[in-house]
Amino acid sequence: MTPRTSLLVLLGATLAAGCGAEPSSSGTRLGLDVLIDRAVADELGAFQVVVLPEGQSRVCAELQRTCLNQQVKADEPLLLQGPDGKKARALRFEAGLSGGAGGSQELAVDIPVGRDYVVIIEALSRSSPPRFLGSSCNYLESVSASRNDALIAAPITLTGGECDPTFAP
């Protein structure tokens, strides 16, 4: 077995306040349900997923104030792998919400097996360069090589900002 486990992240953006359906927790699937304010739906261009080690030592409110790349060292985020095999410290997924106002999107992310992580999901604008719209901060106790319980993500906190959230390759 490899030192990494593939986690399927189900990104359900409900574009309205409230709770989505409870995500599945079978096998190595990691369900992730994200809430997005309908005011940013037209501006939303992509989601960026970043995982940091030493999660319990971090304060989510601080991490969500502005672009994460301005708050952490370039080599601090864990190396992730997307469904296309691309490896990066920040994986970006174009927003392609299906289902109208209660849309959802499936993302596959390979996160290293380990303990005490924080998962940050940043909402990025369609503009070029992208603009930070807000983020969700989620503590992840552990990632197993076999079975992982679902992670229900905190709602995306809309803060907006003029910073470019792009991480250097």
**150 pLDDT tier (thresholds 50, 70, 90):** low
Residue 169, in any domain of the structure:
no
Higher pLDDT, 125 or 32: 125
Residue 122, in any domain of the structure:
yes
Q: How many domains does the chain have?
A: 1
Q: Is the pTM of this model over 0.85?
A: no
Residue identified by tokens 């190595």 is 28
Task: Convert the pLDDT of each residue in 49-103 to its tens digit.
Answer: 999 999 999 999 999 989 999 999 999 999 998 888 899 999 998 887 655 544 5
Once rounded to an integer, what is the mean pLDDT over residues 135-149?
86
Cα 13 to the center of its chain, rounded Å: 12
Q: Could you list the residue range(s) of the whole structural domain that residue 72 is in?
A: 4-158
How confident is the model at residue 164, as a pLDDT? 92
75: part of which helix (H) or strand (E)?
Answer: none
Q: Would you say 55 and 76 are in contact if contact means Cβ atoms under 8 Å apart?
A: no
Beta-bridge partners for 40: none
Once rounded to an integer, what is the mean pLDDT over residues 24-35?
44
Residue 167, in any domain of the structure:
no
Residue 27 has pLDDT above 60, yes or no: no
What's the rounded Cα separation, in Å, for the pair 1 and 152? 27
**161 pLDDT tier (thresholds 50, 70, 90):** confident
What's the rounded Cα separation, in Å, for the pair 120 and 63? 8
Residue 84, in any domain of the structure:
yes
Residue 163, in any domain of the structure:
no
Residue 36 has pLDDT above 60, yes or no: no
Residue 56, in any domain of the structure:
yes
Residue 136, in any domain of the structure:
yes
